[in-house]
Chains A and B, each alone.
Chain A
Amino acid sequence: MECHSADIKSISTNKTILLVGNPNVGKSVIFSLLTGKYATVSNYPGTTVEISHGIGEIDGEDMTIIDTPGTNSLLPTSEDERITRDLLLNQGDVIVQVGDAKNLKRTLMLTLQLVELGKPMVLVLNIFDEAEKIGMKIDIEKLSTILGIKVIRTVAIKKVGIEELITAISRAKKPEIRLRFTKEVERYLSEATRYVDRFCALSFLRGDETILDYITQKYGEGVAKLIKEKLKLDPLISQYIQREIAEKARKITSLVVKRSLKSITYMELFSRMTIRISTGIPILLLVLYLTYLFVGKFGAGVLVDFIENVIFNEYLNPFLKDLIITYLPIPLLQELFVGEFGIITLALTYAIAIIFPIVTTFFIAFSIMEDSGYLPRLAMLLDRVFKKVGLSGKAVLPMVLGLGCDTMATITTRTLETKRERIIATTLLALGVPCSAQLGVLLAILVPIGPKALFSVFGFVFLQMVIVGVLASKILPGDRPDFILELPPLRIPRLKNILYKVYFRLKWYIIEVIPLFILGTLILFTLDKTGLLLKLQNVSRPLVEGLLFLPPETTNIFIMGFLRRDYGAAGLYSMASEGLLTINQIIVGAVVITLFVPCIANLLVIIKERGGKTAAAIVLFVFTYAFLAGGVLTRLLTLIP
């Protein structure tokens, strides 16, 4: 989820190559091999949400290579598919279509749509080894003759076939195959092609109204209007065309594929176990438990203990304190670095000693789930539950990723199909999903108090998410979302790939986190030194003290929590360990800090993804809701001894 969204046109090469293909076929691996740049690779359809681009040397010439989000059709049904379609229309001298060899028919359905663009093409049949393993033989020569373009077979993760691909790109030809439709469709088409090109005409006939924007831009508003009036959208025509494409793809497939029957593999047997209720739910619980052991116990427990107590508190901080006090004789500056709100004693200690180990272990666990292909299975197991809060199982990805970092997760809500789902998912992420660091810190506070406290906090937060989700799904207009998701084969994750991914996610995280931690500390330091902190505490006293029954110093942790959620939790942690809070106060504090507004980074992403108005509404709602819910909880707790 690295950001590669810089202006693509700014790169000065003569030729642009577009990598296109169905989701989860290995485009990103091929992209890395061609450019030497890393792009997020996973076993989950729809991971490439940002467009990556790089430069690759093809036949001695530098070319811009663009990796596009996976798409099944050139009729966009989600935002990322539209991005791909628009790129195809506006850029690209050569199209390299990447397909999964064992799903040849589906690959060809896309090929047959791509040829209508009339651009030079190469077809890559990747993951060729898996196709052979299940007893499929594909006649590449014959396929190449039928399509009139080069067909290359590759096993990208083993770097097989890449040399041939590079040669093929430099000699890419325009495809010769064209689809002929039924008379009726062709009549409509010839009518439309008097004004626009065949691709636009086909897109519109297939029911894609978004193409009108492109027609307006290319041919003028008059033509777009004319097309819209002349060619009434007829759902039947759209089905005819789709059927024709599928039929043609089926025919070609039957001409070039020979199958020999092979028995079901062990991996497939295991895969069946993960999706069935009777075996799937126990496996799901086991996965959760292992994740908890690894992230909660090992990351948040063992690692944090060691790094914080041994490395930082015993060696590093005392040493740095001495160093600064000796060499920096100005008391204000001393405090800036090693005081109560010091950059070293507060910001860096939190960031590196507490947050870093937790985030690292979480990303390792998440990457394993992602690369093994387990996440889509999780999505299908939980679809029914998610439907209750107006989401579909597809929202599992952002929700689970949110347990790592809500900011990252908010970006991936893009893969959800309707605006309604995106708004609900964003709100729930901002409201109730604690990020791994915050979760880790909360666990560190609550576990010693006992299971009751742990259960109250997470049970209450979960309940709020259900309430808000159910209400939102009732209030927001729109239909129940569909759940249609491809289940990729289960694969054993590759260590190298996991390490790569964790490295890139951590890098992204550190670049985002450390400056914000320091900024947050500086703000607190300034507020403290100018006496504004005390004033702020006084102003919010009715809220913090009156509503939540918390000591006024808690205001600090709410301010910190806004800068980074986990930072706030860490503040709560030190207040709790100093014995400043009662158990009930800790529970209320933990709940409010979890429900409370998202951190600055997340807020910025919400604004970017959802727009200012929606963002403001979400934040205002979450803020009010968090305090009200906290107020209710405080009063409930006083009733229970």
Chain B
Amino acid sequence: MEEKIEEILEKIWMLMEDERDIRDELTEQDIQELVESGLLEEKNGTITLTTSGYEEARRMVRNHRLAERLFHDVLEIKGESLHGHACIMEHAIAKEVEEAICTLLGHPRLCPHGRAIPPGDCCKLHRKVIERIVLTLKEMENGERGRVSYILTKKFPRMHKLMSLGLVPGAEIELIQKKPTFVIKLEETQIAIDDEVAGNIYVRRVPE
């Protein structure tokens, strides 16, 4: 599907969310085009999405907001560029990638702007057990084991310090305690770290 059409579908979704009339923002030409592609239909004088149009719009909005979460949470991109980056990425996300991102982020429900992310299949599966696969040390329980997936910090010295102690992606760790200071066990070394640094360390749970 053309990117332009995908963009329009996304806009329609937003207008619907805000309970506004689709005609407010779209040109007659755009509406015509979508009707011809079977994504929009006119019923009793109001324009609504067809079933396939609804599915497409939902997918695009989901991709866009997941992308925003990814940029915001993982890559720490802030501000206006967030939306722009997400706009480019949303068109390129395949189904399995979408689920991987969603899982990585812990099946988030809201985008950084506070709008709802339409849930995907992977989310429905996890609704009951909202257990994230990747989480920060802060969210782990005492005695849990995990493998470091990534360390998220813009502070060079902090990154080097952690890495030089062997706390690198792939390292297996055990969380010994969280208070008063985090203590983790890495090989035969125990390392104490404060909560701010602990929040930078993302770990993938290793099942017992």
List residues of chain A with CB under 8 Å of any chain B CB. Answer: 72-73, 75, 77, 100, 102-106, 109, 131, 134, 136, 207, 235, 238-239, 242-243, 246-247, 250, 271-272, 275-277, 280, 376, 379-381, 383-384, 387, 392-393, 417, 479-480, 482-487
Q: Which of A73, A246, A380 contacts B180 (CB 8 A)?
A: A380
Chain A residues whose C-beta falls within 8 Å of the C-beta of B156 in the assembled complex: 207, 235, 238
Asked if A102 and B170 make an inter-chain contact with CB atoms under 8 angstroms apart, the answer reads: no
How far is it, in angstroms, between the C-alpha of A381 and the C-alpha of B180 when the chains are bound? 6
Looking across the interface, which residue of chain A has its beta carbon closest to that of B148? Answer: A246
Question: 18 extra interchain contacts, Cβ-Cβ under 8 A, other than A243-B169, A383-B180, A383-B181?
Answer: A72-B165, A73-B160, A73-B164, A77-B157, A77-B160, A103-B166, A105-B187, A239-B163, A246-B168, A246-B171, A271-B190, A280-B180, A379-B192, A380-B181, A480-B196, A483-B192, A486-B189, A487-B190
Residues of A within 8 A of B177 (CB): 272, 275-276
Kindly list chain B residues whose C-beta atoms are within 8 Å of the C-beta of A105: 166, 187
User: Are B192 and A380 closer than 8 Å at their CB atoms?
Assistant: yes
Query: How far, in whole Å, are A347 and B124 apart by their CA atoms in the complex?
Result: 82
Chain B positions within 8 Å of A, measured between CB atoms, are 154-166, 168-171, 176-177, 179-181, 183, 187-194, 196-197
Residue of A72, A102, A392, A479 with most partner-chain B CB within 10 A: A72
- Whether the pair A109, B191 counts as a contact (CB closer than 8 A) is no
Smallest distance from the beta carbon of A244 to chain B beta carbons, Å? 10
Are A384 and B163 in contact, CB atoms less than 8 angstroms apart?
no
Chain B residue nearest in CB terms to A209: B156
Task: Determine whether the beta carbon of B188 is less than 8 Å from that of A134.
Answer: yes
Contact A484 B191 (CB under 8 A): yes
Identify the interface centre among B154, B160, B193: most chain A CB within 10 Å of its CB. Answer: B160
Instruction: Report the separation of the CA atoms of residues A29 and B202 in the bound assembly, to the nearest whole angstrom.
Output: 38
Q: For chain A, what secondary structure do more than half of its interface residues adopt (helix, strand, loop), or is it mixed?
A: helix
Contact A482 B196 (CB under 8 A): yes
| Distance between A90 CB and nearest chain B CB, rounded to angstroms | 21
Closest chain-B Cβ to A377's Cβ sits at a distance in Å of: 8
Q: How far is the CB of A2 from chain B (nearest CB, A)?
A: 27
**Contact B194 A482, beta carbon cutoff 8 Å:** yes
Which residues does chain B contribute within 8 Å of A484, judged by CB atoms?
158, 161-162, 165, 191-194, 197
B194 & A383 in contact (Cβ 8 Å cutoff): yes
| Cα–Cα, bound, A638→B36 (Å) | 93
- Checking B163, B171, B188, B197 against A73 with a beta-carbon cut-off of 8 angstroms, the contacting residue is B163
B165 partner residues in chain A, CB cutoff 8 A: 72, 106, 484, 486
CB-based contact A103/B188 at 8 Å = yes
Q: Out of A77, A134, A280, A380, name the residue touching B161 (CB < 8 Å).
A: A77
Tell me, in angstroms, the Cα distance from A73 to B166 when the chains sit together: 10
Chain A residue, CB-CB nearest to B183: A275
> How far in angstroms is the closest Cβ of chain A from B53?
40
With known contacts A272-B176, A380-B183, A393-B181, A242–B189 Cβ distance under 8 A: no
CB-based closest 3 A-B pairs: A73-B164, A72-B164, A380-B192
A81–chain B nearest beta-carbon distance, Å: 9
Name the one of B183, B189, B194 contacting A106, with C-beta atoms under 8 angstroms: B189
> What are 24 A-B contacts with C-beta separation under 8 Å?
A73-B164, A75-B160, A77-B161, A106-B189, A109-B166, A235-B156, A243-B169, A246-B166, A246-B169, A250-B170, A275-B176, A275-B183, A376-B192, A380-B181, A383-B194, A384-B194, A417-B157, A417-B161, A482-B155, A482-B157, A482-B161, A482-B197, A485-B191, A485-B193
B146 to chain A, nearest CB (A): 16
User: Complex: how many Å from CA A271 to CA B188?
Assistant: 13
Query: Which residues of the partner chain B approach A207 to less than 8 Å between Cβ atoms?
Result: 156, 160
Which of B163, B180, B187 touches A242 (beta carbons < 8 Å)? B163
Q: Are B190 and A486 in contact (CB under 8 A)?
A: yes
> Is B196 within 8 A of A277, CB to CB?
no
Q: With CB as the reference atom, state the residue of chain B lying closest to A72.
A: B164
Chain B min CB distance to A312 (Å): 46
List the B side residues contacting A238 at CB < 8 Å. 156, 159
**Contact partner of A277 among B159, B162, B166, B180, CB < 8 A?**
B180
Bound-complex Cα distance A104 to B186 (A): 11
Contact of B179 with A277 in the complex, beta carbons under 8 Å:
yes
Give every chain B residue within 8 A of A483 (Cβ-Cβ): 181, 192-194, 197
User: Chain B contacts of A479 at CB under 8 A?
Assistant: 155
Which of chain B's residues have a CB closer than 8 A to the CB of A276?
177, 179
Q: Indicate the member of B163, B164, B187, B196 with the most A CB atoms within 10 Å.
A: B164
Shortest CB-to-CB span from B84 to chain A, Å, is 21
With a CB–CB cut-off of 8 A, which chain A residues contact B191? 484-487
Cα–Cα distance between A243 and B148 once the two chains are bound (Å): 12
A102 touches B188 (CB 8 A): yes
User: Which A residues are CB-close (under 8 A) to B187?
Assistant: 102-106
One of A131, A247, A381, A486 near B181 (C-beta < 8 A): A381
- Is B181 in contact with A75, judged by CB distance below 8 angstroms? no
| B192/A487 in contact, CB under 8 A | yes
Chain B residues in 8 Å Cβ range of A104: 187
> Are A387 and B168 in contact, CB atoms less than 8 angstroms apart?
no
A136 closest partner in B (C-beta): B188
A77 to B197, CA, bound (A): 16
CA distance A275 to B193 in the complex (A): 12
**Within the complex, what minimum Cβ distance (angstroms) separates B111 from chain A?**
26
A480 contacts which chain B residues (CB < 8 A)? 196
CA distance A45 to B165 in the complex (A): 12
For the complex formed, measure the closest distance between the CB of B170 and the CB atoms of chain A, giving whole angstroms. 7
- Separation in Å of the A108 CB from the closest CB of chain B? 10
- CB neighbours of A136 from chain B (8 A): 188
Name the distance in Å between A337's Cβ and chain B's nearest Cβ.
54
**Bound complex: CA A234 to CA B127 (Å):** 39
- In the bound complex, residues from chain A placing their C-beta under 8 Å from that of B163 are 73, 239, 242, 246
Q: Are B161 and A243 in touch, CB under 8 angstroms?
A: no
B191 to chain A minimum Cβ distance, whole angstroms, is 5
**Which among B162, B181, B189, B193 is the interface contact of A384 at CB below 8 angstroms?**
B181
Question: Which residues from B are CB-within-8-Å of A482?
Answer: 155, 157-158, 161, 193-194, 196-197
A75 to B171, CA, bound (A): 20
Across-interface contacts of B180 in A (CB, < 8 A)? 277, 280, 380-381, 383-384
Report B116 CB to chain A, min CB distance, Å. Answer: 33
Residues of A within 8 A of B193 (CB): 482-485
Q: In the complex, what distance in Å separates the CA atom of A379 from the CA atom of B169?
A: 27
* Of listed A136, A383, A387, residue having the most chain B CB within 10 A: A383
Residues from chain B with Cβ under 8 Å of A392 in the complex: 194
CB closest residue in chain A, given B168: A246
Tell me, rounded to whole Å, the shortest Cβ–Cβ distance linking B88 to chain A: 20
Residues of A with C-beta under 8 A to B183? 275, 380, 487
A73 to B187, CA, bound (A): 17
- Determine the residue in chain A with the shortest Cβ distance to B150: A239
User: For residue B168, which residues in chain A have a CB less than 8 angstroms away from its CB?
Assistant: 242-243, 246
Shortest Cβ gap from A526 to chain B (Å):
51
**How many angstroms between the C-alpha atoms of A167 and B180 in the bound complex?**
47
What CA separation (Å) do A104 and B163 show in the bound complex? 15
